[in-house]
A and B are shown apart, each in its own frame.
Chain A
Amino acid sequence: GESVGLHLPTLSVQEGDNSIINCAYSNSASDYFIWYKQESGKGPQFIIDIRSNMDKRQGQRVTVLLNKTVKHLSLQIAATQPGDSAVYFCAGVLSGGSYIPTFGRGTSLIVHP
């Protein structure tokens, strides 16, 4: 199976700083990864995804890096804003078979003005 976990439960940053949220996965057969943002009392929102044939993918103010050698991915948020305060989850999907993502426990990002 697959297990996905995050390195830190809480990350506190100052507004304007860059934030890095890390995630490790256990199954090398995982070939698709997703980052979600969840605000209090709401459902997770898709931020960015990456497939295993890529090392890096950029979006608006966000970058995901994938290191398949050490089975690690990270989410980088540039110029973090108070509105970025939320819980961030990574999820991994095994190749083949049913589409069943495995979610990490989440990192709470706190942005101080």
Chain B
Amino acid sequence: DGGITQSPKYLFRKEGQNVTLSCEQNLNHDAMYWYRQDPGQGLRLIYYSQIVNDFQKGDIAEGYSVSREKKESFPLTVTSAQKNPTAFYLCASTPTGEGNQPQHFGDGTRLSIL
């Protein structure tokens, strides 16, 4: 079945540590997104990428970094500069060039501070 796989499901970060969240899709979608979700909040956009080797900052990019070396993969690194990283992180993808389509989401990674 096609879909988006996020790993790990739970992740713990120590002080001063960088951690990387994985997002892989086999939907052949061009665009991929990272969102942060805090309790009682909507989804806030961290980074997005519309094509391989290109990505743009979203609303809350500070303290995060991404890469898009392959169409299928869009990893997110939470750096030590992100002082409040505890949240639920969601990866999404969507096809482009076919008019508006709904995003497909993974099942998220919950990041906590040790």
Contact = CB atoms under 8 A, between A and B. Distances in A.
B43 A42 contact: no
Contact of B90 (A43, A49, A98, A106): A43
A25 interface: no
Given A44-B90, A99-B94, A99-B96, A104 B42 contact: yes
A43 B48 CA distance: 17
A66 B68 CA distance: 36
B107 interface: yes
Contacts, number: 56
A43 B40 contact: no
Contacts of A9: 40
B45 interface: yes
B31 interface: yes
Interface of A: 4, 9, 31-32, 34, 36, 41-46, 49, 51, 89, 93, 98-101, 103-106
10 A-B pairs with the lowest CB-CB distances in the bound complex, closest first = A43-B105, A103-B42, A32-B100, A46-B102, A103-B43, A105-B42, A43-B107, A34-B102, A44-B105, A42-B107
Interface of B: 4, 6, 31, 35, 40-43, 45, 48, 50, 56, 58, 90, 92, 94, 96, 100, 102-108, 110
